[in-house]
Amino acid sequence: MQSLYHPQAHFSDPVFTSLDSSGVKAMWQMLVTAGKDLRITFQDVKADDKSGSCHWEAWYTFSRTGKKVHNIIDASFEFKDGLILNHKDRFDFWRWSRQALGLPGWLLGWSPLVKNKVRNTASSGLRKFIQR
């Protein structure tokens, strides 16, 4: 994954809302190495020289809670020099939080309070991963 991103790349999703090239590369390394039971499928891949999109799904155990997650994601891409310049993943955060967080996700996963807590925890985890 790291070799696919342009040096000026930008990534966003509902959890990692704004990562630069080094951040997105570190994020993928962190997620893939932590995902001991990670399984990914993809379909509806469309691309030309300038842009692309795909639908992908990930199954894994969320490490903070030990709960099983099936995340359904739609991705869009912009390319430059044959590499990913902009990558945006969209998924239902509340659906994800109900699976990953259990009862707190069911009750408050839609709320800015929980979204911001998850974002801050993920950002902190990524910073620590990069420092190591």
Query: Which structural domain, as residue segments, surrounds residue 91?
Result: 2-114
How far apart, in whole angstroms, are the C-alpha atoms of residue 69 and residue 60? 5
Q: In the chain, what is the greatest distance between 2 CA atoms, to the nearest angstrom?
A: 45
Residues of the chain with pLDDT under 70: none
pLDDT of residue 2: 87
**Residue at 56 is within a domain:** yes
Residue 105 to residues 1, 27, 59, 100, 112, Cα–Cα distance (Å): 30, 23, 18, 7, 12
Q: What is the pLDDT of residues 21-44, one digit of tens each?
A: 999 999 999 998 887 899 999 999
**Residue at 127 is within a domain:** no
Domain count, the chain: 1
pLDDT of residue 126: 96
CB 53 within 8 A of CB 74: yes
CATH number for 77: 3.10.450.50
**Residue at 68 is within a domain:** yes
Query: Which uninterrupted H or E stretch holds 100?
Result: helix 93-101
pLDDT of residue 130: 94
Query: Which uninterrupted H or E stretch holds 6?
Result: strand 5-12
* C-alpha dihedral (2, 8, 9, 11), degrees to nearest 10: 120
**Residue at 120 is within a domain:** no
